[in-house]
Structure 1
Amino acid sequence: MTEREPFRMQIKVRLYELDPLGHLNHAVYHSYAEVARIEAFDQASGGSTALREAHVAPVLLASQINYRREIVLGETVEVTARAKFGTGKSFQMEQNIVKADGVLAADLALTLGLMHLERRKLVEDPRGWFERAGYDISLLTGE
């Protein structure tokens, strides 16, 4: 089995996202990653509303970012997202923010879970929940 590309999308830097130094504000890197995560989940769902109907949704539990290169006004970056499922209630996601010239601007390591929104508790086996809801797991994992 060969590894597929991770989910990816492009985002163009806007003036209001800059800090006083003239480069992308640190918090916006996180916002770009969140936009890509949400889009990855949305595309993987294929329009399924099964998780929403079960009152279950992805939740971010931890985030670690490494800033590697500055991003400036007008640049278009590519943001990737790749999930890794194991056992238990949480799963991992790796995300990269890459400049148009291929230089890695930031990498993120995330821990996520699926939360039952009424019980306010994480559910077991998030991969199984995604699969039963009809999500395209290969789009999330690159498998």
Structure 2
Amino acid sequence: MQVCLPIEVRSTEIDVMGHVNNAKYLEYMEWGREEWYNQAKLPFDEFTQMGIGTVTVSIHIQYRKEATLGEKLMIKTKPLRCGNSSFVFFQEIHNEKGEVVADAEVISVTIDLQSRKSKPLPELLRRYFD
């Protein structure tokens, strides 16, 4: 299931070079993942009720093109693969011309909230990756 989230670049996201600051792309992608969970009907409080948390452990991001003030961007998020307790999202940010501005593989792990140790993916999450 791929989820798309439209955003518009704001003045607070621009750096001294006049384009979106590199750290903001990570934030945009976080918003995209949150939207994916919401559309998959997997809100974070449901994980909490199961005693499970999700932790991002790695992001491999490629910056492809600059984005500037007022530009409308589309954040695309889709599940890529999963292991026993880890799962990977592939994310792309596109500009209004459809060009890829940035893309990333984001690796997360499910953990037991009490022990803070990895825990197998719950079936309700795994089904999106199989």
Normalising by structure 2, report the TM-score: 0.89
Query: Structure 1 residues 37-46 or 22-31, which shifts more?
Result: 37-46
- Distance verdict in 2 for CA 1:18–1:115, change over 3 Å: same
Query: Within 1, Cα distance between the matches of 2:74 and 2:123?
Result: 29
Query: Within 2, Cα distance between the matches of 1:97 and 1:60?
Result: 19
Out of 55, 69, 72, which is 2:65 matched to? 69
The answer to whether the Cα contact below 8 Å between 2:58 and 2:106 also exists between their aligned partners in 1 is yes
- Distance verdict in 2 for CA 1:129–1:122, change over 3 Å: farther
The answer to whether the Cα contact below 8 Å between 2:51 and 2:112 also exists between their aligned partners in 1 is yes
Out of 49, 52, 55, which is 2:48 matched to? 52
Out of 117, 120, 125, which is 1:130 matched to? 125
- Distance verdict in 2 for CA 1:120–1:35, change over 3 Å: same
Structure 1 counterpart of 2:91: 95
Q: Deviations over 1:55-96 (max 9, x none)?
A: 212210100110000000000100011112333211111000
Kindly report structure 1 stretches of 4+ aligned residues shifted beyond 4 Å.
46-49
Query: Within 2, Cα distance between the matches of 1:16 and 1:118?
Result: 37
Q: Which runs of 5+ in 1 are unaligned?
A: none
Structure 2 counterpart of 1:41: 37
Q: Provide the identity percentage.
A: 26
Q: Which runs of 5+ in 2 are unaligned?
A: none
Structure 1 counterpart of 2:111: 115
Structure 1 counterpart of 2:20: 24
Secondary structure in structure 2 of the residue aligned to 1:85: strand
Q: Following TM superposition, by how much is the alpha carbon of 1:46 offset from its aligned partner in structure 2, in angstroms?
A: 5.9
Normalising by structure 1, report the TM-score: 0.81
Secondary structure in structure 2 of the residue aligned to 1:65: strand
Query: Within 2, Cα distance between the matches of 1:104 and 1:85?
Result: 21
RMSD across aligned positions (CA): 2.1
Secondary structure in structure 2 of the residue aligned to 1:122: coil
The answer to whether the Cα contact below 8 Å between 1:78 and 1:98 also exists between their aligned partners in 2 is yes
Q: In structure 1, what residue type is equivalent to 2:123?
A: G
